[in-house]
Amino acid sequence: MADRFSVRHQPGFTAIAATCFVLLYFPIVVLVVYAFNAATSTSAWGGLSLKWFVSAWNNDAVIEASIRSLQIGAVAAVLSTAVATMAALATTRTPPYPGLTFKYAAINQPLMVPEIVTGVALLIFFSRIKIFTGYTGLGYLIAAHTAFCIPFAYLPIRARLETMDLTLERAAADLYATPWKTFRRVTLPLLWPAILAGLMLAFVISLDDVVITEFVKSGGQDTLPTYMLGQIRRGITPEINAISTVFLLLSVAIVTLFFFMSRKRE
Amino acid sequence: MSAAERLREHEKRDIRNRWLLSAPALLIILFAATGPLLIVLAYSFLTPGQYGDVEWKLSGEAWTSVFLERDIFDDTLSLADAHVTIFWRSVKLALMTTAATLILGFPTAYFIATRPENKRDLWLFLITIPFWTNLLIRTFAVLQIIRNEGIFNTVLIKLGIVDAPLQILFTDTAIMLGMVYVYLPLMVLPIYASMEKLDFRLLEAGYDLYATRFAVLRRIIFPLVKPGVIAGSILVFIPAIGSYVAPSVLGGGKNMMLANLIELQFGQGRNWPLGAALSIAVMVIVMIALLLYVRNAGTAETRHG
Amino acid sequence: MPEKPDRNAIEVRNVSKIFGSGDARFAALDRVSVNIRENEFFTLLGPSGCGKTTLLRLIAGFDFPTEGEILLYGDDIAPLPPFKRPVNTVFQSYALFPHMTVAENIGFGLEMLGKPKAEVEARVAQMLKLVRMEQLAGRRTSQISGGQQQRVALARALAPQPKVLLLDEPLSALDYKLRKDMQIELKTLQLETGITFIFVTHDQEEALTMSDRIAVMSAGKILQVGSPRDIYDRPAERFVADFIGESNFLPASVVSTAGNLATVRLASGAEIPASLPDGFAPKGNVSIVIRPEHAQLSRPEGAALAGTVENVVYLGTDTHFHLRLDSGEPFIVRRQNARGHTDRFAAGSQVGLLIPADSAQILKD
């Protein structure tokens, strides 16, 4: 057993890979551990404590920012997924037609532009509109988030549609189902897991956004990430660790859900 | 209606329906992503206003200010050292980050691809989790570790390797560490996608023909996964060059990258046209990178997925 | 078989379906015309790529002809989308809805037509009984066997009582025994329900077994339409003769013609009677076809043809004799093995062939 030649083995690769995995998780683990650190200073260990979680919970600014994040995330996720579903239906299962590649490029465009550029562009554009209409609500943030969430919702829906050939829809039409009924009774149920996946993806992406939100927001419109950015710039409080931990748990929960859902379907 | 007419009518209707379906997505993106880019271009040719925003007067000042500066006294143009440094730092760090993530990510992708089928999903899951964790949180986590009172220095001092904490934070190195940490999964996933399709029997053929392990890596594995490598490199380089969080949090505002310079123009700098011009400059760099990608990807599938 | 005096359920008039253009122009159907009578079991037979499935899709409404028209009981069917045509399809891949149970699948068409729940349930029960699947009503379609899926697909398509049922190679995925059983079931079903069946297959045996009439297709054209007997005994073209059953082709020259019969001279000099395809009156050189079981072995003297036995192949029920005629062509003779038959025609022996009247058929090409 000892010296069997393995075709797949490359020297050092496993070591590097292992190192990578450790390095990837190490900082996060440290962060989570320190969230429970009773000591104020982050270099000494003062025993386990939940006090930073409590103080974060009592921090109005934190709660307000969190709610705002969730609101924007929910609306942007639903909008972008609905719109992405329609776009996916329009761009799959068809022989190429004029404009198809354009649509493709356009839908994926937000992925190709660095966030700083989009942030600046929206800052300029929306400031013009603000002057014009006087509206300074959450609408701008929601619009911006919806836009960059679209390609993320689009991806899993498109992937799923590509595996569904048109035969089932034809069978439904053959059995007297109108196009709308076919969509509702055949296409949609089969597409639903992918739509949910897109929804979750879009939600996480929206929650996570820092740069675009930072540039587009007006004063007092902090989301959780922009609030944290502000705090970090001013100095480090362990409260940030606590907030980060909760945020982390949320993201991990959603991704795990997503992962198990896709595994179940296999 | 003749048969041929009916057929054409049907095809036209189908295409029209597809345009209608995709319209909302396209409109939203046009409004809140693509369209504004054109406005940025326009703004780069205007004059800065007194208190920010712009005056509607055409000017090429912004573009010259990108790399050059005017001497206050005699109006001569000379190289704007500060700007050039920032450009150089951004490109340099982005390239180095790409290289570092490649060196780390390639073996990792290989490792995952060589796990048994039923375990692979688990490894992918482990790589994906950090990816979906907030960028800011991850960068903050790195901050916590490398700062003077952080774990890294504390351990070094305890072990007696150094006497005083190493100043890692607020250096270029810190920024790079942060970017590598954050963008590593973006390199691993595309390379893995290519490797998954690799036919390992080709490796057997290589060994059968007297190749060494390194030769097999260089002459068989690497060329076959090149599309994944290129895709990963692009996926890392583009966000890296425009990176904002890493230099803000880990560079402390002193080691600025392009994103910070741009932000400055919309804050204290009060030079929106310059900010716009710099943004376009970043886009140009990105476009060049994308062009290189498309040319190299060549016959490979250019479809997203 | 007596002529059925019913109306035409489907009329296909000069239908073409063309894909691509210029160099890449491909005619899946080339000016095809055929009439399918009501209550008949009509088969479209041909190799893959011949256009039979394309024609079926045009009738179902999943595609539109480039030229020509299709009539259903005299009305142009073209303006109707598939969900308005009283035509149902049994797909080759069955296309059962994976997220619905067997019962829900079968009731789907009736549901879409807006039938009241009680009626749907009754009909579904009836269908389940018809295809003997009552036990499996509540199962998901992914949990049943291939043969069972096939029956569900059939029940689903029959439930809404369509005027015409289209079957796209529905038996091709089944194993041999199951296939044979289903062939009999389908035939019985058609006779009982009286629905017009249009059946697509590439299996000529299947076509001969089940059909009232067959249309043989190749490369987008219909070559011949007729009852199984007509097609088999009197193939009009070489392709048809070759595709169905086994054939022996021989060159001959026409001596005289009279109505449906002709006299032809073979290479050996002998003159034999041969049947003419309808409306064909050739002169000079032609090809004829003789089925292996129609020729009889005899002594070489006085026979229409003569040759040497190259190979004798014993197949249990039959024996095949592979001959090489004196004029050079190969010829196969098939003879049933009767009890106590001794063989006079061993390999190497010289034999003669008798061609009874009504065995030889002149081909159009």
pLDDT of residue A111: 81
Quick check: A170 and C109 CB within 8 A?
no
Task: Provide, rounded to the nearest whole percent, the portion of chain C with pLDDT above 90.
Answer: 47
pLDDT tens string A211-228: 999 999 887 888 999 999
pLDDT of residue C5: 58
Quick check: C82 and A181 CB within 8 A?
no
Quick check: B29 and A254 CB within 8 A?
no
The yes-or-no verdict on residue A73 having pLDDT over 90 is: yes
Best residue of B26, B56, B142, B280 to probe chain A, by most A CBs closer than 10 Å:
B26
Nearest CA in chain B to A207: B134
Partner residue opposite B129 with nearest CB, options A215, A233, A255: A255
Burial call C223-238: b when 16+ CB within 10 Å, e when fewer: bbbbebeebbbbbbbb
Dihedral Cα B105, B106, B107, B113, nearest 10 deg: 100
Q: Distance between CA atoms of C35 and C73, rounded to whole angstroms?
A: 11
The yes-or-no verdict on residue C229 having pLDDT over 80 is: yes
Q: How confident is the model at residue C99 (pLDDT cuts 50, 70, 90)?
A: confident
pLDDT of residue C340: 64
Quick check: A255 and B128 CB within 8 A?
yes
Q: Distance between CA atoms of B40 and B30, rounded to whole angstroms?
A: 14
Does residue A229 sit at the B interface (CB-CB below 8 Å)? yes
Q: Distance between CA atoms of C14 and C29, rounded to whole angstroms?
A: 9
Nearest CA in chain C to A176: C83
Shortest distance, CA A158 to any CA of chain C (angstroms): 20
Interface partners of B (3+ CB pairs, < 8 Å)? A, C
Quick check: A176 and C113 CB within 8 A?
yes
Does residue A190 sit at the C interface (CB-CB below 8 Å)? yes
Q: How many CB pairs under 8 A join B and C?
A: 19
Tokens of B64: 């010259």
Task: Provide, rounded to the nearest whole percent, the portion of chain C with pLDDT above 70.
Answer: 97
Quick check: B7 and C69 CB within 8 A?
no
Q: How confident is the model at residue A210 (pLDDT cuts 50, 70, 90)?
A: very high
Best residue of B199, B279, B288 to probe chain A, by most A CBs closer than 10 Å:
B279
Nearest CA in chain C to A168: C95
Residues 6+ apart with CB under 8 A from B165: B148, B149, B153, B156, B157
Nearest CA in chain C to B7: C64
pLDDT of residue A183: 93
The yes-or-no verdict on residue C341 having pLDDT over 80 is: no
Q: Distance between CA atoms of C56 and C49, rounded to whole angstroms?
A: 13
Shortest distance, CA B23 to any CA of chain A (angstroms): 8
The yes-or-no verdict on residue A10 having pLDDT over 50 is: yes
Shortest distance, CA A184 to any CA of chain C (angstroms): 12
Does residue C82 sit at the B interface (CB-CB below 8 Å)? no
For β-strands B68-70 and B77-79, DSSP reports them as antiparallel
Residues 6+ apart with CB under 8 A from B63: B44, B45, B277
Does residue B13 sit at the C interface (CB-CB below 8 Å)? no
Quick check: A16 and B304 CB within 8 A?
no
Q: Residues of A numbered 38-57 whose beta carbons fall under 8 angstroms of chain B's beta carbons: which are they?
A: 41-43
Q: How confident is the model at residue A264 (pLDDT cuts 50, 70, 90)?
A: low
Partner residue opposite B29 with nearest CB, options A147, A208, A244: A147
Average pLDDT rounded to a whole number, residues A250-256: 85
Structural domains in chain B?
A: 81-303 (1.10.3720.10)
Count of alpha carbons within 13 angstroms of residue C159, beta-carbon side: 35
Q: Distance between CA atoms of B288 and B295, rounded to whole angstroms?
A: 11
Partner residue opposite A244 with nearest CB, options B137, B266, B275: B137
pTM for this predicted structure: 0.80
What average pLDDT does chain C have? 89
CB A104 within 8 A of CB B25: no
Give the residue among C364, C47, C24, C49 at the shortest CA–CA distance from C204: C47
Alpha helix segments (H runs only) across C194-237: 204-210, 228-233
Quick check: B144 and A159 CB within 8 A?
no
Q: Distance between CA atoms of A100 and A123, rounded to whole angstroms?
A: 30
pLDDT tens string A24-43: 898 888 888 888 887 766 66
Partner residue opposite B245 with nearest CB, options A30, A114, A211: A211
Q: Any idea which of C2-11, C215-224, C256-265 has the lowest mean pLDDT?
A: C2-11
The yes-or-no verdict on residue A110 having pLDDT over 50 is: yes
Quick check: C95 and A190 CB within 8 A?
no
Q: How far is CA B40 from CA B36, B270, B275, in A?
A: 6, 15, 9
pLDDT of residue C219: 93
pLDDT of residue C240: 92
For β-strands C285-290 and C360-362, DSSP reports them as antiparallel
Interface partners of C (3+ CB pairs, < 8 Å)? A, B
Does residue C76 sit at the B interface (CB-CB below 8 Å)? no
pLDDT of residue C212: 95
3-state secondary structure C247-262: CEEEEEEEEEEECCEE
The yes-or-no verdict on residue A265 having pLDDT over 60 is: no
For β-strands C330-336 and C196-201, DSSP reports them as unpaired
The yes-or-no verdict on residue C335 having pLDDT over 50 is: yes
The yes-or-no verdict on residue A1 having pLDDT over 50 is: no
CB A204 within 8 A of CB A251: yes
pLDDT of residue A180: 92
Does residue C149 sit at the A interface (CB-CB below 8 Å)? no
Count of alpha carbons within 13 angstroms of residue B173, beta-carbon side: 6
Does residue A134 sit at the B interface (CB-CB below 8 Å)? no
Q: Distance between CA atoms of B127 and B185, rounded to whole angstroms?
A: 6
Q: How far is CA A153 from CA A74, A86, C284, C324, in A?
A: 13, 11, 73, 71
pLDDT tens string C11-60: 999 999 998 877 888 899 999 999 999 999 999 999 998 999 999 999 99
Average pLDDT rounded to a whole number, residues C197-218: 94
Nearest CA in chain A to C160: A175
pLDDT < 50 stretches in chain B: 299-305
CB C198 within 8 A of CB C164: yes
- Chain B residues closer than 8 Å to A166 by CB: none
Dihedral Cα B258, B262, B267, B268, nearest 10 deg: 60
Nearest CA in chain C to A191: C99
pLDDT of residue A32: 86
Does residue A250 sit at the B interface (CB-CB below 8 Å)? no
Write down the residue that tokens 């089925």 correspond to.
C291
Partner residue opposite C83 with nearest CB, options A173, A189, A190: A173
Shortest distance, CA A201 to any CA of chain C (angstroms): 25
Q: Any idea which of A182-196, B143-157, C158-172 has the lowest mean pLDDT?
A: B143-157
- Chain B residues closer than 8 Å to C68 by CB: 3
Q: Residues of C numbered 167-206 whose beta carbons fall under 8 angstroms of chain A's beta carbons: which are they?
A: none
C310: enclosing H helix or E strand: strand C305-314
Q: Distance between CA atoms of B185 and A25, rounded to whole angstroms?
A: 12
CB C220 within 8 A of CB C208: no
Q: Distance between CA atoms of B98 and B234, rounded to whole angstroms?
A: 8
Does residue C67 sit at the B interface (CB-CB below 8 Å)? yes
Does residue C122 sit at the B interface (CB-CB below 8 Å)? no
Q: Work out the end-to-end distance of chain A between its first and last CA atoms, rounded to an integer number of angstroms.
A: 34
Tokens of A134: 């006087």
Rounded to two decimals, the ipTM of the complex is: 0.84
Sign of the torsion angle spanned by Cα atoms B56, B57, B63, B68? negative
Quick check: B141 and A13 CB within 8 A?
no
Higher pLDDT, C283 or B79: C283
The yes-or-no verdict on residue C105 having pLDDT over 60 is: yes
Best residue of C66, C71, C80 to probe chain B, by most B CBs closer than 10 Å:
C66
The yes-or-no verdict on residue C162 having pLDDT over 50 is: yes
Q: Distance between CA atoms of A63 and A206, rounded to whole angstroms?
A: 17
- Chain C residues closer than 8 Å to A181 by CB: 112
Q: How far is CA C232 from CA A248, B57, B248, C229, C286, in A?
A: 76, 90, 86, 5, 19
Nearest CA in chain A to C113: A176
pLDDT of residue A232: 86
pLDDT of residue A35: 84
Shortest distance, CA C70 to any CA of chain B (angstroms): 10
pLDDT of residue A4: 66
Shortest distance, CA C146 to any CA of chain A (angstroms): 17
pLDDT of residue C327: 86
Higher pLDDT, B2 or C205: C205
pLDDT of residue B299: 47
